[in-house]
C-alpha cells in the first residue's frame, strides 16, 4: 500500500508542476493549444516507450475494449487545455484548488456507485465529513 501511496503522492506533486510548466510554455509560444499538443507529444513518446518495454501486446487488446473507456483521453485533453489556458490568468493555486475540489466530488461519486469497475466504497457520513474537511483545508490554504 505504501508503494501505491508514494506513486500517487508523486503524481499529485506533478499536477501543479504540469500546470505551471505548460501554462508558462503556452504563454511563451502564445498558444495554450500548441503547448498542450507539445505536452501530449512528449507524453505519447514516454508512454509508448514504457508500453514497448512492458508488453506491447496490451495495446492490441484496446480494439476489444468498450469505446466509452476511451473518453479518458478526452478528459485528460480537457484538463491540460483548460489548466494551460486558465492558470496564467487565475493562478496555479486557484486553478489546482478547483481541480482538487472536482476530484473530491467525482471520486466520491465513482466510489459510491463503483463506477467503471472501481471498488465500491459507500459515502458514509464519516467519509463525507472527511471529504468536506479536505475541501475546507484546500480552501484555507488558498485564503492564507
The pLDDT, as a whole number, for residue 101 is 86
Q: Model confidence over 80-95: pLDDT tens digits?
A: 999 999 999 998 988 9
Q: Which of 144, 72, 143, 137 is nearest to 100 (CA)?
A: 137
pLDDT tier at 109, thresholds 50, 70, 90: very high
pLDDT of residue 129 exceeding 80: yes
Q: Which of 133, 105, 97, 90 is nearest to 16 (CA)?
A: 97
What are the CA-CA distances from residue 44 to residues 51, 110, 117 (Å)? 10, 27, 25
Task: Say if residues 143 and 102 touch (Cβ distance below 8 Å).
Answer: no
CA of residue 65 relative to chain centroid, distance: 22
- The span from the CA of 128 to the CA of 104, in Å, is 10
Q: For 60-85, give one letter per residue: b (16+ CB within 10 A) or e.
A: eeeeeeeeeeeeeeeeeeebbbbbbb
Amino acid at each position: 500500500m505504501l508503494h501505491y501511496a508514494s506513486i500517487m503522492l508523486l503524481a499529485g506533486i506533478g499536477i501543479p508542476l504540469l500546470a505551471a510548466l505548460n501554462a508558462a510554455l503556452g504563454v511563451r509560444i502564445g498558444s495554450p493549444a500548441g503547448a498542450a499538443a507539445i505536452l501530449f507529444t512528449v507524453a505519447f513518446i514516454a508512454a509508448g516507450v514504457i508500453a514497448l518495454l512492458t508488453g506491447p501486446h496490451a495495446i492490441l487488446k484496446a480494439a476489444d475494449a468498450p469505446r466509452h473507456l476511451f473518453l479518458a483521453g478526452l478528459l485528460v485533453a480537457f484538463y491540460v487545455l483548460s489548466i494551460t489556458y486558465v492558470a496564467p490568468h487565475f493562478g496555479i493555486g486557484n486553478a489546482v484548488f478547483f481541480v482538487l475540489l472536482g476530484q473530491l466530488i467525482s471520486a466520491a461519486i465513482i466510489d459510491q456507485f463503483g463506477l467503471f469497475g472501481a471498488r465500491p466504497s459507500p459515502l458514509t457520513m464519516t467519509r463525507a465529513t472527511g471529504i468536506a474537511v479536505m475541501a475546507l483545508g484546500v480552501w484555507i490554504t488558498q485564503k492564507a
